[in-house]
Amino acid sequence: MSKASQDLEKAIAKAAKVGTCLPQNIPEWMQRIGILAEDVITESTKVGDNSPNSKTDVLIKFQKSKPLKISAKLSNAGYFGNWYGHERFINEFGRKVFDKLTTKTSLWANEWANKTNSLFVGVSVSFGERTGDTFIPFLDIFDDLEDLKKIVCGVGDNDNAANCLYVSDEHPKSIEDILEMLAPINLGKIEELSEDIRIIFRPINPFTEASNRGKNVYTKFQPDQPLSEITDITTIKDLIKLGKFTEVFPNGLNHNHI
């Protein structure tokens, strides 16, 4: 997570001061999710990356109301789900969707290997905005927008599942500033986001992306046959002479393993 993102989350948590009351007039969508006007803030916590599966970045609790579970994004942040591991992916979307994704990822990787000059040995996935050639449409894999809702706000009704969005570069100074920028996560918002969110493919170069080599992959390079001796491969062109990218099992395989 970038320093700017972390600073935004800290600013939101700081602006929701414990002991402060909500305004008398709050949006209807907040009332519908169980927030009461003039309720008192009892806790304001930056969750951020403390929990890898959490979509809630800032958690605000009250004396009587249900909590505000804020997913915070910078204005130019084009991501909504980063680096999904195998276990998490299957828990949220099922094995059938996993198998469909690894098949599509393998097809894409074999095509990309003939277009790029950058070596890669596997492909991780994330979800968000993307231009160029390293993505496929969301609905190529998923059946409906309910799956997109899981990516945007999380699964279930616990504190890890967000119930509103804060999208801005501006740091709030008060709870009123926060409420002004908050938007509900509802079907209308999900439909709006669906126009821009893609399945992003992240081919990892083992020489240049050391910090990303532990990410789970959805395709792997597989030689056609064992080599007769240890061979150094430094280019994608030399690599694809030896085999192709193939589907993976959901066993936590990552770039380092390959």
CA separation for the pair 4, 224 (Å, rounded): 45
Same domain? For 62 and 100 the reply is: no
Same domain? For 91 and 179 the reply is: no
Biggest CA-to-CA distance, the chain? 76
Q: Is residue 113 a part of any domain in this protein? A: yes
CA separation for the pair 126, 256 (Å, rounded): 18
Assigned token pair, 38: 């003039």
Interval 37-80: pLDDT, tens: 999 999 999 986 666 667 899 999 999 999 999 988 887 666 67
Assigned token pair, 147: 């799956």
Assigned token pair, 178: 């926060």
Helix and strand counts by DSSP (H, E) for the chain: 8, 11
Residue 28 is part of a domain; what is its CATH number?
3.40.1350
- Partnered with residue 124 across adjacent β-strands are 202
Same domain? For 49 and 61 the reply is: yes
Same domain? For 7 and 134 the reply is: no
Residues 187-210, mean pLDDT to the nearest whole number:
85
pTM of the model: 0.80
The number of folded domains in the chain is: 2
Interval 151-165: pLDDT, tens: 888 777 788 889 999
Q: What range does the domain containing 134 cover?
A: 79-144+196-246
